[in-house]
Structures are given as C-alpha cells and as structure tokens.
Amino acid sequence: MPTISGSGETKNEHQLNKGVWTDNGAPAAAGFSVIGKRVPLKDAYRKVTGEGVYADDMKFPGMLYSRILHAEKAHAKIKRIDTSKAEALPGVRAVVTGNDAANRFGVLPVSQDELSMAREKVIYNGEPVAAVAADTEEIAAEAIWLIDVEYEPLEEFLKPRDSLKDVSPELQIHDKVEKKHPNTNIHKAVDQEFGDVEGAFKQAEAIVSAEFKFDGISHGFTEPHAIVAHWDADDRLQLYTPQQVPHYTHRALAKVLELPMHRIQVIRTMVGGGFGGKSDPFQHEMIASLLSMKTRRPVKLTMDREETFLTGRGRHPTEGKLAMAFDKEGKLTALDSDIIIDGGAYGSFGVVSAYYNGVLSNGPYWMPAFRYHGKRVYSNRIPSGAMRGHGSVNPRFCTETLMDMAAVKLGLDPCELRLRNFLPSNTLTPYHKFRITSNGIREGLAEAMRRSEWKKKWGKLPYGHGIGVGCAWYISGSALPIHWNKLPQSTVHIKIDMDGGVTVHSLAAEIGQGSDTMLAQCVAEVIGCSLERVHVKSTTTDTAPIDLGSYSSRVTFMAGNAARKAAESIRAQLAAAASRLTGQPAQYFDFAGEEVICRSKPDVRVTFMEALHGAQADIGALIASGSYQAPPLGTTFKGSNAGLSPSYSFSAFICELKVDPDTGFVQPLKIWAAHDCGRALNPLAVEGQIEGSVHMGLGQALTEQLRYRGAQLLNGNFLDYKIPTPFDTPEIEAIIVESADPEGPFGAKECGEGALAPIIPAVGNAIYDAVGVRMFEVPMTPDRVLRAIDAKKRAETKGE
Amino acid sequence: MSKRLLKFIVNGRKAEVAVEPHHTLASVLRNELNLTGTKVGCDMGTCGCCTVHVDGKAKLSCLTLALECQGTEILTIEALNEYEMHPLQRAFAECGGSQCGYCTPGFIMKSCELLERNPDPTREEIKEALAGNLCRCTGFMKIYDAVEQAAGELRKKEAPQPTPLKV
C-alpha cells in the first residue's frame, strides 16, 4: 500500500546549527538508517559559498579565449569563407572553420548529422560557421566579425508541414532522411496500430477529438554553455565541460578528432542546470578542442545567453490531432494520435522523441486500442532535442485535455473518469508490454483531491475561478541503451583505504538533482557507515567507470542499483573480517551506525574501522565494482524498445487558478502535486524535483515560447523569454507517494521528469473550469485565453 | 581605450585594479580578483546571478561598470563564509534552496540585503525581494524556506551582521 508524505506535512525543523556537511539527525525510512532521510545535497555547501567550480570559473596559464561565428542565414550554400582578416588581427592565435573537421557526429548512432562547423551549407540561423581563439575574449569577439562569409540562399523550411513535401535533393536539409519518405525533410516517421481502433470509435459512447499546437521552449538553465579544452603536453585532450552525459561527448570527440577514446579525458565541471539541454555532444565542445589542438594552449569558450538559446535542443514545437473513444462506463477504448514534431536542424535525440510522442500515451490509463502516426521533421530552425519529460509532455497535454472533455460529455467528474481508467499495479500494457511494477497513482490522486478539497470546488467555484486535474507517468530510464552493446548501463566503483574514507566513483553526472548524494546514501545504507564518510567522485572519465549519464530519469534506478551492488561486495569483505575478529559466522552480521553487529548476540560487535582494518590486513585497500543492466523486457515488433523501462513513475496534479476574463491573464493560486517515486531515498531532494518540475511546467503552460520572425529567434534572452518569477509561481505542495518498486534501489523509481507533464493540462483544465473555454494552444498566453473567451461569447450571442 | 586605476575595498581588503572603462564589476571581480563565486547568467540584468553588495546595497554586478565603484565597499558571496559560514548559506544548503547552485550566490546576496533591512520578513516580502532573481531548479519554495530559517536563526542568536575584516 503506497504511503504519502511531502512538503505540506513536513518542515525542516531538524536542520539547524550545522557548520559542515553532516547527517542531520533526520529520521530515516522504517527499516533503514540513511535511506529516506532528508539530507542536504553533498555538494550544496560548495555551491552556497561560491567555492564550486563551473567551467567559466576556470583559469589556466596561457589560456586563450574563443568566440564562435554563427550563421546569419537559415538555409544557404556557403560560397566562400575568408578568414584572412581575422587571422591578421593582432592577438588572434587560431581560426577554424568547417574545413578543419569533416566527421559528423550526434548523440544517437542512427542520426550522425552534426558537423563541428557548417561545411558547404548552413542549415539554421545560429549554426556555428567558424571560430577564433585569441589572447583575450575582446580580441576574439572582434575577430569573428572580420570573417567574411558569402552565402547563396536556399528555400527555407520554417513550418513543420512544409518539411513533409517532396523536394529536390538540393533542398533536403540532410542527405539521410526517413526511408519511407526519401524525397522529403522528414527525419523519422513512426506508424503503429494495435487493437481495433476503427471498431472502438464506431461503438463509442463518447468520442472527443481536437487539434493542438505547442510552441518550442528552451531549458533556460541559468549557466550559459561554457567549456575549457586543453590539448596537453602529453598529447592528450582534457575537456572541462558541464555535461549531463560525459560519456557521449567522449565518444563524439573521439570520432570527430579521430583520436582513440583513451587519449581524451572528459572532466565534468559543476553543471549549472541541464534539464536535457546539456546532454547532447556539442559543436562548441568540438570547436574548443580543435582550437586547442591547433594552438597547444588551453582554450576557454563561454557563450552568451543568446548563443545558448541558439544552441537549443529544447522541447519540439508540436502539432497534433488526437481523438479518444470511451464506452458508456467511461472506460477508454481507443486513442488515435497524429503528431508532427519540429526537430529543427539536427537529429539530436529526435528518433527517440518521435517514438515517445506516441508510445508514452499508453499510460497511465489502460489502452485497449492504439493508433499513432508520428513524424519528426527537419527544419531550418533551432535544433530541438531532449528536455525534461522528453517526448511525453506535449502529447500528455493533449490526452489529459481530451480526458477532461470526455468527462464533460459523459457527465462524470474528471477525477472519477481517470480513476476508472488507471493502469493497475503489476501488469503489462496490452501491446507494448510495458511492465508496470508498483503504481501509486490512485492514492496520489485521492490525496491531491483530499488536500485540494476537489469535490467542494470542481464545477462549483465562481466564474473566473477554477480547478483542474492532470495525470501522467514516466520512464525510470530507458531499458535499451543508445549504443546497442552488452556493456552495463551503469557501473560504480568503491575504494576504501585505511583512512576510512569511502570513495565512490561513478560517471553519473551530478547536475543539481542530487545524484552524488543518492549514490552516497545507497553505499552508506549497505555498509552501515555515516554519510560524511562517503566521498563521491563523479567527474572524470579517467577514474570513473562508464555510466550513461544524467538523462531519461535513469540515474537513481540504474546507478543507484550499481552502487548498491558494489557496496554489497564491500560488505561481504567487511563481514568476513568481522567474522575473523569475533569468531561468529560472517552471514550473521548487520551493518548500521558505524558498527558491524552480530545479529544473534548484539553485544558482539566491532566498529566500522576495526572491521575495515581487519579486512585490509592482507590486501590493502578494499575495492569493489557493481553494475546495472536493465532486464530483458518488452516484445519484438520494430520500435518496440522505445518506452521500455524497468519501472515507471506516476503523478497526479491538481491546480487551482484565477482567470481575468477581461485580460485573459491566468493567475495560478495553488498546486497540489502528488508523485509516485517508488521510495523517496531523500525526500528533500524529491520535493525539490517535484517543485522544480511544476515551476518549469508552469512556464511552458503560461508564458514560455521561442518566438521567431522568419528564421530569426526574437527572444533569446531572459527578458523576453519569460520564465515564471517568484510572483508568477504559486504555492506548490509536493505530495510524495511511496510505492516501493521491487527492482529499484531500496524501492526507488524516478522523480526528476515525470512530475513536469501533468501541470500543463491541469492548468488548461482549470481554465476550462474557470471560464468555460478549452485551450488547445500552449503556452496559454493572455491573448490566446482572451481570444478563446471572445470566441465563446460570440458563439453564445449567435446562438441566442 | 586606456585603462584606469580602480581603487576600492572588496570583502574587507584594499584592491587596486587597472580596468578598461567598459569593464563591468562582474568581470573585474571574476577575472581580475578571481572571485568566481559571483556568477554571470545573462550579462544583461535579467537573472540576478551576479548580485553583490555595493556599499551595503544589492546590485547587479553585470550592469554596474567597474569604474562606478571607485572608493566603494564591495561584498561578495565569498565574504559570507569567512571564519564562519553565514546562516543564509547553511540554510540554503539544508533546506534544499540550492540545486544546480548557479543562481545561489545571487539569491543569498539578495536575501542577505533583505535580512539586514528586515530581520523578520513575511513570505510575501521575501518574494518581493527575490522577484528579480531567477532560479530554474527549485520552483522557489525551498528558497523561501531557507530565508525564513536563516532569518529565525539570525534573530535568535542576535548574530552580528556579516562584517568583513577591518581594513
């Protein structure tokens, strides 16, 4: 039975008077000593003091500074690049162009379509064309304007539907496109149909359908892209980069620079926010490396905010037409979904996005029949990619809005309709065979309803004041790795020497979500030591075992499990030592509170340090390795791997808001956000993830949009790209629902991404409750809300 | 343009730096004085990451020309952790007010100014004070918790305000 806790019920009273990082005396989950404790993040004290080192904080002797020249055309042949004037500027040490690196790269092996810098043609306004390394940043900035590029414009593809057309090879943005549509700019098409969709719609009691549109949005992380590359005296490349996935950058660097991977070391600096926007291997990483290899000097490249926006990889602009059928009991009988997503200039994670936009609609409801036609197209816009909730967020708005419309048609409470359709625990979805283990969504929705007083409010609040619901699910890591091989998806090493420090090595990237702390908790729990003993080293490819990094909400599940396994191996070594020291059998020992205690005779015990030194006697430092690989899952049709995950999180949100009918302005009042994360290893971090997801989702719901004039981004700054401020953010009550997953580390699933999607439809549905209009375009800006209210008024007047 | 000599006091220490007239305070602090705790998120006054104190007032160091600070006293995030960690810093860590950490120094400097002015702010007053600071990770809730916790602690202890070393 899932249990409920969260920010509405608990406060931080225990966290006082601590000068250094320490266990803070908070209670652990029942049966555990550090799992379930509200602990501060391991690296938080470095962050609050300014000691933490981000890439732009780094300085090396002899360091050069780099700037990039970005394309000023969206689709054009490069007739000529003349860098001679830039090279002649005093202080300029090197200039590179597309001619310096011919090899293509990209995060997915199936879409290797990026170049370090454009060659022959540019494909979006903002694409890197050339770059300069100079003694100062000012000289570099001056030099890029001395680079002369002559373009011959080509027809631009700025609307996703234009990319569906057959065109001449010259007008294809990339050579390699979807095989089914060889003469178009379609990157990937997915067509799936399961069950009797037509029949379900024919027999339906209620059919709801609508067309939806979503603007592109950006991750908006606060740290602009910044890196330092250093081709060192040993002829090795050292790349300091705030990467969510150092491993994919490592692979891409090797390919582009034509170096074996071991001659490259990727060092993750502190990451000032990622949200998916720092998970591709990037052109600027290649560019700084090329410049450093040319000059044999360290090269720093720091982008400004606009360049960071232009680098992109945000959520795909999306257009969709979706329909749902229901029987008279309110059971969902079919979903028919047709979606086009605008991938922009590159493939990025797009093949995955094309699948996720469809297959992740097979939950959190039981789906008896399912049809999906999805297309991801190339366009001459800023590249889209993976952003928090990757591929699930926009279609989730569509299906949750349709659920609400169906509830109205069927005369049911929207929450009741959802409760009738939720997937059960311990089941397989009918066609994709997604394996649902634990599922606390019923308890979550019930709790959100209780706390929000849903039954008293829904349909009963005065005009302009409304309440709405949205539900969602998400993967806890993709079961299929991006590079298809038999290597583990996560490996964790532990080393303990006589100093008693427990060093945990991993390449799971700490990006502020608390993964270092999570690893430390998993290890400390197993070997019974204090958290402050555990030091996590997760930055450096030379010392860290490979991990596929921080994306797809995989870290807690996969790296956490690897850490637990490594710690279990250490525990066995300590137990053997305790056995030798006490004469009791090794399997009789418990580990907790820095002691190794004989289970049957609790007064027979040794300290952690005694056991450690005992174990070290003949072998020196204790070392252990643990790894994780997802179990075999799913079925065999083409594309059936997409969406497979060892477990799924579930969320149910309720939003109360006000709409000003005269201005269309929407003011959220309160959000109740129930999220089933399996087990909250660190409730403080889980609440932080839920609250942060809600805030980010609110931005997409109400204010955030990438706006263009033609191909030119208009709002590449935080003044015009409107992220919710404290005044725009209502109180968020995070409700943690715990439903232990049988395979997750200590029962944990995910909480970093799944908690984003439900807030957007909850806002839309609350707007309907407030003023009676359905919003089909996101963000739901005042002008759009007002237009909908006006249209409704006009229709009503006509009707009279 | 020729460099001019900027003389000011930074975190209680006399500093003399030759700066270009167009250099911002943020760039001088970070690049010349190596005080990299002050972050630059947008370089145009929209995110608040670069907030420092100039003569006791919170300012955006990316919008302040270095030469405007002639003869002033500057306080950066580094000063709050001399000899003792400031209650705001501890509270931000302990309440989960810092995730990726990039905005954190700016939030703390802005909160520090608020608590010097108003030792017992309401949540609305905290919101108002922090409205110009952008955090993309936390959704602000735990930042408010942190400011409230630190305010309580400062009041309880009557802790002295963070005065830097005497010159």
Share of chain A above pLDDT 70, in %: 97
Residue A463, phi then psi, degrees to nearest 5 = -55, 135
Question: Based on the domain organization, do B90 and B153 belong to the same domain?
Answer: yes
CATH of residue B34's domain is 3.10.20.30
Question: Based on the domain organization, do B42 and B103 belong to the same domain?
Answer: no
Question: Based on the domain organization, do B61 and B113 belong to the same domain?
Answer: no
Token pair, residue A746, equals: 């200590």
- Within 8 A of B127 by CB-CB distance, chain A residues are 726-727
Mutate: best of B33, B82, B102, B112, partner A, most A CBs <10 A = B102
User: pTM value?
Assistant: 0.96
Query: In chain A, what are the domains?
Result: 62-154+223-272+278-311 (3.90.1170.50), 483-628 (3.30.365.10)
* Residue B95 belongs to some domain of the structure: yes
* Residue B137 belongs to some domain of the structure: yes
Question: Based on the domain organization, do B72 and B106 belong to the same domain?
Answer: no
> Which of A673, A648, A701, A749 is closest to A364 using CA atoms?
A648
- pLDDT tens across the length of chain B (167 residues): 699 999 999 999 999 999 999 999 999 999 999 999 999 999 999 999 999 999 999 999 999 999 999 999 999 999 999 999 999 999 999 999 999 999 999 999 999 999 999 999 999 999 999 999 999 999 999 999 999 999 999 998 865 556 666 55
Rounded CA separation A371/A426 (Å): 24
Question: Based on the domain organization, do B148 and B96 belong to the same domain?
Answer: yes
pLDDT at position B160 is 56
- Within 8 A of A727 by CB-CB distance, chain B residues are 127-128, 131
Contact, A160 vs A92, CB < 8 A? Answer: no
pLDDT tens digits, A190-199: 999 999 999 9
d(CA A686, nearest CA chain B) in Å: 10
d(CA A727, nearest CA chain B) in Å: 7
Q: How many domains does chain B contain in total?
A: 2
Mutate: best of A49, A228, A751, partner B, most B CBs <10 A = A49
Q: Does B18 reach chain A within 8 Å, measured CB to CB?
A: no
* Strand residue runs (E) in A608-695: 622-628, 648-659, 666-678
Side by side, the strands of the sheet bearing A490-496 are A534-537, A502-505, A490-496, A622-628
Q: Which of B47, B77, B107 is the last residue of a domain?
A: B77
Rounded CA separation A93/A750 (Å): 47
Rounded CA separation A506/A492 (Å): 5
Question: Based on the domain organization, do B148 and B110 belong to the same domain?
Answer: yes
Sign of CA dihedral A304, A310, A316, A317: positive
Q: Which of B16, B46, B77 is the last residue of a domain?
A: B77
Share of chain A above pLDDT 90, in %: 95
pLDDT at position A4 is 83
DSSP states of A168-231 = -GGG-SSS---TTSTTS-EEEEEEEEES-HHHHHHT-SEEEEEEEEE--B----SSPPEEEEEE
d(CA A349, nearest CA chain B) in Å: 22
Question: Based on the domain organization, do B53 and B115 belong to the same domain?
Answer: no
Q: Does B43 reach chain A within 8 Å, measured CB to CB?
A: yes
Whether B40 sits inside 8 A of A19 (CB atoms) is no
pLDDT at position A5 is 80
Mean of all residue pLDDT scores within chain B: 95
- Residue B46 has its nearest CB partner, among A19, A275, A717, at A717
pLDDT tens digits, A360-410: 999 999 999 999 999 999 999 999 999 999 999 999 999 999 999 999 999
* Residue B26 belongs to some domain of the structure: yes
How many other C-beta atoms can be found within 10 angstroms of the C-beta atom of residue A515? 26
Q: Which residue pairs, CB below 8 angstroms and at least 24 apart, start in A137-142?
A: A137/A65, A137/A67, A137/A302, A139/A65, A139/A89, A139/A90, A139/A91, A139/A92, A140/A64, A140/A65, A140/A66, A140/A67, A140/A92, A141/A67, A142/A89
* Residue B162 belongs to some domain of the structure: no
- Span A82-100, mean pLDDT? 98
Q: Which of residues 108-127 of B touch A (CB under 8 A)?
A: 108, 127
pLDDT at position A23 is 41
Weakest-pLDDT range from A16-30, A101-115, A422-436, B70-84: A16-30
pLDDT at position A139 is 98
Question: Based on the domain organization, do B52 and B97 belong to the same domain?
Answer: no
* Residue B153 belongs to some domain of the structure: yes
* Residue B50 belongs to some domain of the structure: yes
Cα-Cα-Cα-Cα torsion A712, A717, A719, A724, nearest 10 degrees, comes to 110
Question: Based on the domain organization, do B151 and B90 belong to the same domain?
Answer: yes
pLDDT at position A17 is 29
- Alpha carbon distances (Å) from B103 to A49, A312, B33, B140: 12, 21, 20, 11
d(CA B71, nearest CA chain A) in Å: 25
With cut-offs at 50, 70 and 90, classify the pLDDT of residue A709. Answer: very high
Identify the three-state secondary structure at position A588: helix
Token pair, residue A83, equals: 């860098």
* Residue B165 belongs to some domain of the structure: no
Q: Does B134 reach chain A within 8 Å, measured CB to CB?
A: yes
Provide the residue range defining the domain that includes B48: 4-77
* Residue B146 belongs to some domain of the structure: yes
Question: Based on the domain organization, do B17 and B47 belong to the same domain?
Answer: yes
Q: Which of B25, B50, B77 is the last residue of a domain?
A: B77
Question: Based on the domain organization, do B101 and B124 belong to the same domain?
Answer: yes
Mean of all residue pLDDT scores within chain A: 96
- Residue A694 has its nearest CB partner, among B84, B94, B139, at B139
CATH of residue B113's domain is 1.10.150.120
pLDDT tens digits, A647-672: 999 999 999 999 999 999 999 999 99
The amino acid sitting at B22 is H
Question: Based on the domain organization, do B19 and B45 belong to the same domain?
Answer: yes
Whether B99 sits inside 8 A of A40 (CB atoms) is no
Share of chain B above pLDDT 90, in %: 92
pLDDT at position B119 is 97
